[in-house]
Chain A
Amino acid sequence: MIDVVVIGGYLGSGKTSLVNHLLRTGTGRSTLVLVNDFGAVAVEPELVTASDGELLTLANGCVCCSLSSPLIETLVALRERADRPELLVIETSGVADPEPIAHHAMIPGFRLAGIVVVADAETVRARSEHALVGRTVQRQLTAAGLVVLNKVDLVASAERDRLHAWLAIAAPSAVVVDAQHGEVPVALVVGPDLATATPGIGEPDDHDHPTDHDHDHPADHDHDDHDHAATDPHRTITWRAGGPVDREALLAILGDVDAGIVRAKGVLTFADRPDRQEMVQVVGRRVHLTALPDRARDTAADGRLVLIGLPPHFDPAALEAHLHTTRAE
Chain B
Amino acid sequence: MNSLLIEATKATPDIIFGTDGKWILQGKCCPENPISFFEPIFEWISEYKDSENPDIKLDMILTYFNTSSSKVFLDFFDLMVEVKQAGKEVTINWFYEADDEDMMESGEEFSEDVDLDFNLVIIDEQD
Q: Do A and B come from one complex?
A: no
| Chain B contact residues, CB within 8 Å of chain A | none
CB within 8 Å of B: which residues of A? none
